[in-house]
Each structure stands twice: as C-alpha cells, then as structure tokens.
C-alpha cells in the first residue's frame, strides 16, 4: 500500500501589498511540501480572501483600522 504524505499549510493572516507577495507566500509552502514529498497540500479554507486587499485599496485601510481597534480593546 502506498503512503500518502499530506502537508497542512498554516498561513499567517496578513494584508499583502500585491498579488505577487501572496503568490510568493503560497510558493514557499509548496516548496516545503515538495521537499517532504507531499502528494497533497491543504491550505486554510478562506486563504484566497487574502488576495482581496491588493485588488481593493480602500478595503486595506478599513481592515487595518478594524485591526487597530481590536488591539486597543485588548
């Protein structure tokens, strides 16, 4: 029976400046998975949403303000 190696990526939730930064982050996980000879790589369910801020600049500012408010509450 073949062994199936699975890699689970734990991406840090952050605001990317552009889609290339997001791509580089994903490629980093893929390189690590390849080194471990993984046949399946699992990313967080909503990781694709991390691409939205570079496409909607006003949203980035709003997200940063919301995060700042949460930090102040803590």
pLDDT on residue 28: 95
Contacts of 12-15 with CB under 8 Å at 24 or more apart are 13/50, 14/50, 15/50, 15/53, 15/60, 15/63, 15/64
Per-residue pLDDT tens listing for the chain (74 residues)? 589 999 999 988 887 888 899 999 999 999 999 999 999 999 998 888 888 877 777 776 777 777 788 888 77
Q: pLDDT at position 1, please?
A: 58
pTM of the model: 0.68
Any idea what the Cα angle at residue 8 is, between residues 6 and 11, rounded to 5°?
Answer: 155
């Amino acid at each position: 029976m073949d062994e199936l190696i699975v890699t689970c990526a734990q991406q840090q939730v952050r605001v990317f400046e552009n889609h290339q930064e997001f791509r580089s982050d994903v490629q980093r996980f893929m390189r690590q998975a390849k080194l471990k000879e993984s046949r399946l790589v699992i990313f967080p369910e909503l990781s694709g949403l991390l691409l939205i801020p570079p496409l909607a600049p006003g949203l980035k500012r709003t997200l940063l303000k919301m995060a700042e408010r949460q930090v102040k509450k803590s």
